Amino acid sequence: MSGDPILLIAAHPTRGVDVGAQAAIWDYIKAARREGLAVLLISADLDELIGLSDRIQVILRGAASSASSTPTRSRRSSSARR
Residue 68 pLDDT > 90 = no
Q: Is residue 40 part of a domain?
A: yes
Residue 17 pLDDT > 80 = yes
Put simply, whether the predicted model's pTM sits higher than 0.75 gets the answer no
Q: How confident is the model at residue 8 (pLDDT cuts 50, 70, 90)?
A: very high
Which CA distances in Å does 11 have to 25, 74, 75, 82?
12, 24, 26, 36
Domain that holds residue 57: 7-81
Q: Is residue 56 part of a domain?
A: yes
Distance (Å, rounded) from C-alpha 61 to C-alpha 59?
A: 7
Query: In the chain, pLDDT over 90 holds for what percent of residues?
Result: 59
Q: How many domains does the chain have?
A: 1
Which CA distances in Å does 52 have to 3, 27, 45, 61, 79?
24, 10, 11, 24, 19
Distance (Å, rounded) from C-alpha 16 to C-alpha 26?
A: 14
Q: Is residue 77 part of a domain?
A: yes
Q: How confident is the model at residue 1 (pLDDT cuts 50, 70, 90)?
A: low
